[in-house]
């Protein structure tokens, strides 16, 4: 079924199965430039004027001038687009390619799975859905005959004392099915304010790959 989905998507021009994605792009680079931070003097201002309050860049009384700039979402096709660097370690990666015909995601149609399932992703140069999306982090919760709360069949005095249990699944966790809830296409538009946040990646791999499940498992077993 996955192979058939890929063939169908390629025929419709939604993906390019022979293209190779290019470099990894930091989409926050311009907003975080030292020149821009210095110019906007972020974090050092003592007074915020009515023109600077919020993101509108006009005073609070000029509604006729408060229209936002129109964002353009047209990008390279899936399989041919540059990847976006994550905003921070294990941040949900943003969608770098065009999503025309791929959204919205519905119960009966999720075009993302055609390329991003782990068994398919390497062959089409896509980012594979990580192991954290094939796991259940919600312990079975109930109540024993004596009225005490149970977690995974064990009585606990305080639910906060229960360690996270990672239960591996042989399919995508339905709680992770709505991809665009966390992963979103990015408009080709200038940011309205600078960004003073600097991500601290442990290594270059973390800029494009998730190790969230390893972090969650640390110290649990």
Q: Taking the domains of the chain in order of start, what are their residue ranges?
A: 1-129+173-199, 131-171
Q: What is the pLDDT of residues 117-128, one digit of tens each?
A: 999 999 988 899
- pLDDT at residue 171 tops 70: yes
Residue 11: pLDDT above 60? no
Between CA 94 and CA 10 the distance in angstroms is 22
Q: Which two tokens stand for residue 81?
A: 């687009």
What is the per-residue pLDDT across 117-166, written as a single tens digit (0 to 9) for each? Answer: 999 999 988 899 999 999 998 888 888 888 888 888 888 877 666 666 78
Q: What average pLDDT does range 12-36 have in this prediction?
A: 68
Give the homologous superfamily in CATH for domain 1-129+173-199: Flavocytochrome C3; Chain A (1.10.1130.10)
| Sign of the CA dihedral with 137 first, then 142, 148, and 153 last | negative
Nearest to 96 by CA among 3, 10, 2, 19: 19
pTM: 0.74
Secondary structure element (H or E) that encloses residue 85, with its range: none
Q: Pairing relation of β-strands 167-168 and 135-136?
A: antiparallel
Nearest partner of 114 among 7, 1, 5, 4, judged by Cα: 5
Nearest to 190 by CA among 42, 68, 89, 51: 68
Q: What is the mean pLDDT of the chain?
A: 81
CA-based nearest residue to 115, from 104, 101, 95, 129: 129
């Amino acid at each position: 079924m996955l192979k058939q989905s890929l063939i169908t998507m390629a025929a419709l021009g939604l993906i390019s199965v022979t293209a190779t994605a290019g470099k990894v792009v930091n989409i926050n680079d311009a907003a975080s430039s030292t020149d821009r931070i210095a110019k906007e003097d972020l974090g050092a201002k003592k007074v915020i004027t009515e023109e600077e309050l919020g993101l509108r860049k006009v005073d609070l009384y000029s509604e006729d001038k408060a229209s936002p700039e129109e964002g353009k979402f047209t990008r390279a096709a899936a399989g041919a687009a540059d990847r976006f660097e994550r905003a921070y370690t294990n941040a949900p990666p943003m969608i770098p390619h065009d999503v025309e015909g791929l959204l919205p995601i519905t119960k009966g149609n999720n075009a993302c799975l055609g390329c991003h399932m782990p068994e398919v992703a390497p062959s089409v140069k896509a980012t594979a859905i990580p192991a954290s999306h094939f796991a259940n982090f919600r312990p079975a919760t109930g109540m024993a005959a004596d009225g005490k709360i149970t977690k995974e069949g064990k009585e606990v005095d305080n639910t906060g004392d229960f360690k996270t249990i990672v239960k591996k699944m042989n399919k995508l966790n339905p709680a992770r099915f709505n991809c665009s809830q966390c992963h979103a296409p990015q408009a080709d538009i200038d940011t309205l304010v600078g960004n003073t946040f600097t991500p601290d990646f442990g290594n270059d791999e973390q800029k494009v790959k998730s190790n969230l499940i390893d972090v969650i498992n640390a110290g649990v077993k």
